[in-house]
Structure 1
Amino acid sequence: MAPKIFIDGEHGTTGLQIVSRLQNRSDIELMSMPAEQRRDPEVRKAFLREADIAILCLPDDAAREAVALAADAGTRFIDASTAHRTHPDWTFGFAELSDGQAARIASAQFVSNPGCYSTGSIALIAPLVAAGLLPADYPVTINAVSGYTGGGKQMIAQMEDSSRDDAIVSAYFAYALTLAHKHVPEIMAHTGITRRPVFTPAVGRFAQGMLVNVPLHLDLMTGAPSMADVRAALAAHYGDGGLVEVVSLAGAPTPRLDPEELAGTDRMKLYVCGTEGAGQVNLVASLDNLGKGASGAAVQNLNLMIAG
């Protein structure tokens, strides 16, 4: 019998993306509450408890409530909120994080979906810490720009309707300038760094796509590695043929990176940028903030859990 999948919060940005990816699949039964019953807490509880896997596209408190309503019924969860990303009882849903992570996701009852900025940051940093090249107390700086769909329905409306009084008319803006972005704890927890990174995110006037930059001084890294050493460590971690690809731009004439490069895909590219011998490297992750950075990752985790 096909596993029953319930998306709690299916009408939000991430939920809608997941529905579009799953609605034509014949190997699952996609459950959906009737429109007139969506505010009935007992109906919601029944759907959560009947589902084999519930995907939570909810605010943090609502996600915690959903788990409390159905965990004892054996329902398995994929939580796209921030609520459980550092919780010790939850498996972090980044299959490429380490050897065995995909298997852990496949067998887990509770899986936390990574944040979009976190996905790029962790993908760049964690392998270097694990390889012993990046000291855990290195003063990491992360700069990133995302498509505006990452801000949810309100930001999408503000960006796309210039007639609104609250419309955002700038082409690009930085935010979280208090250095307290909600993704920082999960970046630290799943990379192994011990010093809080300086993280500055931004939003551009494009719908989907993302670039995450992690610049590093090679002489502050263990053994003063070369750019080639850094690329080799990343390439060894991710291998070939998966969703994550490691690319070197060393020697490329006037290279440019487009944040929309992977929009509409579930892939991620990790670029190793700089000039060999100059003592610095700029690591850049390119991904779709709604693909590998959100709904694409949720579906990847779902597939692992179904297969497992």
Structure 2
Amino acid sequence: MPTRIFIDGEAGTTGLGIRRRLEELTSHYDIALLRIDSAARKDAEARRALMAQADITVLCLPDDAARDAVALGKGLSTRFLDASTAHRVNSGWVYGLPELERDQVERIRSAQFVSNPGCYATGAIALLRPLVEAGLLPVDHPVSINAVSGYSGGGRSMIESHEQEGGPPFLLYGLNLNHKHLPEITHYSGLARHPLFVPSVGHFPQGMIVSVPLHLVNLPGCPLPEDVKRVLEKAYDGAKTIRVCEADETRLLADTLAGQDGMELRVHGNGGQAVLTARLDNLGKGASGAAVRNILLMMGHEID
């Protein structure tokens, strides 16, 4: 019997990406995609009826609408995967980053409620959590994070502004220092206080670099760049979609992994200083690709 999947909010960028990827997998996995009539997308009764049929309901909705959708599905047997930020630090939900802990894959497999990680958060947590766990980075260290993303993650209006002639070349945003990914970055990195996070958008469709500058001489034991790299290599030994690479480039392009579901981590060092980078596709490992992997895990599968 096929696994029936309903994407609530499939008209958005993430929802369309998830559906396209799942359609490509139907020849390998027994999947049946349930679809709501476009005229009934906001009809609560019609949406609940599809949730009742679905084994997995994927939420690609704004935060408040995602919370309402979970309430709408109360009492049904469907499992939820939420792509919004609404439930990412909710104790009743499993965080959908399989590399987070050794048992995270099994937790995702068995969970009723899974929250898909944010794109920036995926890179930041992958860099920071192993260092905190290894004691190289104190939990109260004043961490700074800089990041640039392709414009496809910014919604319809941002996509339209970039795809018209004379679109913005670069945009710095989140300058209220309260970006919506901060709670999950802080929580799952193991930090005791929010980092200083400065995100930006470049004039390219897909791709992302998250970077963390560190004065290693100010950290306990004054670790060297190679010490940091060894910690990351140990943390992701055997990981399917995270690779620790040599930092032999003097420049790093943000869109190199566009269309792919992997992530590259690097430690760029010079004596007592280092810049840690995570390069990924904001719509791949950072959104739709991550969601599809979580769906497969919830189905009891794993991708090679």
TM-score by length of 2: 0.95
Which residue of 174, 186, 199 maps to 1:201? 199
- Answering whether residue 72 of structure 2 is matched by residue 69 of structure 1, we say yes
Alignment partner of 1:23: what SS? helix
**Superposition pairs for residues 245-284 of structure 1, below 5 Å?**
245-249=243-247, 252=248, 255-275=250-270, 278-284=271-277
Paired amino acid for 1:211: I
Match of 1:232 in 2: 230
CA separation in 2, counterparts of 1:248 and 1:282?
A: 13
Q: Secondary structure at the match of 2:285?
A: helix
Deviation at 1:51, TM superposition (A): 0.8
- Report whether the alignment pairs 1:91 with 2:84: no
Q: CA deviation at 1:144?
A: 0.3
CA offset at residue 200 of structure 1? 0.2
Is 1:4 matched with 2:7?
no
Identity of aligned residues (%): 54
Contact 1:211 1:284 in 2 (8 A): yes
Aligned ranges 1:184-223 → 2 under 5 Å: 184-223=182-221
Q: 1:132 aligns with which of 135, 145, 156?
A: 135
Match of 1:143 among 143, 146, 167: 146
Unaligned runs of 5+ in 1: 163-167
Contact 2:99 2:239 in 1 (8 A): no
Name the SS for the 1:281 alignment partner. Answer: strand
Deviations 1:43-82 (A, max 9, x none): 0111112211011000001101111111421211110001
Q: CA deviation at 1:222?
A: 2.4
Alpha-carbon separation, structure 1, partners of 2:14 and 2:77: 24
Q: Which moves more between the two structures, 190-199 or 238-247?
A: 238-247
Report the equivalent of 1:154.
Answer: 157
SS of residue matched to 1:150: helix
Cα deviation for residue 31 of structure 1 reads 0.5
CA deviations on 1:232-257 (whole Å, 9 max, x unpaired) are 000000014521000121xx3x6211
With the length of structure 1 as denominator, give the TM-score of the two structures.
0.94
**Contact in 1 for aligned 2:143/2:196 (Cα 8 Å):** yes
Q: Which amino acid aligns with 1:239?
A: D
Q: Does 1:34 align with 2:37?
A: yes
What's the C-alpha RMSD, in Å, of the aligned pairs? 1.3
1:181 match: secondary structure: coil
CA distance in 2, matches of 1:116, 1:65: 23
Q: What stretches of structure 2 of length at least 5 have no aligned partner?
A: none
Aligned equivalent of 2:295: 302
Residues 140-171 of structure 1: CA distance to partner in whole angstroms, max 9, x if unpaired?
Answer: 00000000001011110111123xxxxx7321
Distance (whole Å) between structure 2 residues aligned to residue 49 and residue 71 of structure 1: 10
- CA 1:111/1:153 → structure 2, altered by over 3 Å: closer, same or farther? same
Instruction: Report if aligned partners of 1:48, 1:66 keep a CA contact under 8 Å in 2.
Output: no
Equivalent pair of 1:218/1:279 in contact (CA under 8 Å): yes
Amino acid at match of 1:14: T
Q: Decide whether aligned partners of structure 1 residues 173 and 182 sit closer, same or farther in structure 2, where only a CA change above 3 A counts.
A: same
Amino acid at match of 1:223: G
Q: Is 1:107 the counterpart of 2:110 in the alignment?
A: yes
Q: Distance in 2 between matches of 1:217 and 1:71?
A: 49
Question: Cα gap change, 1:62/1:244 in structure 2, threshold over 3 Å: closer, same or farther?
Answer: same
1:109-124 aligned at under 5 Å gives the runs: 109-124=112-127
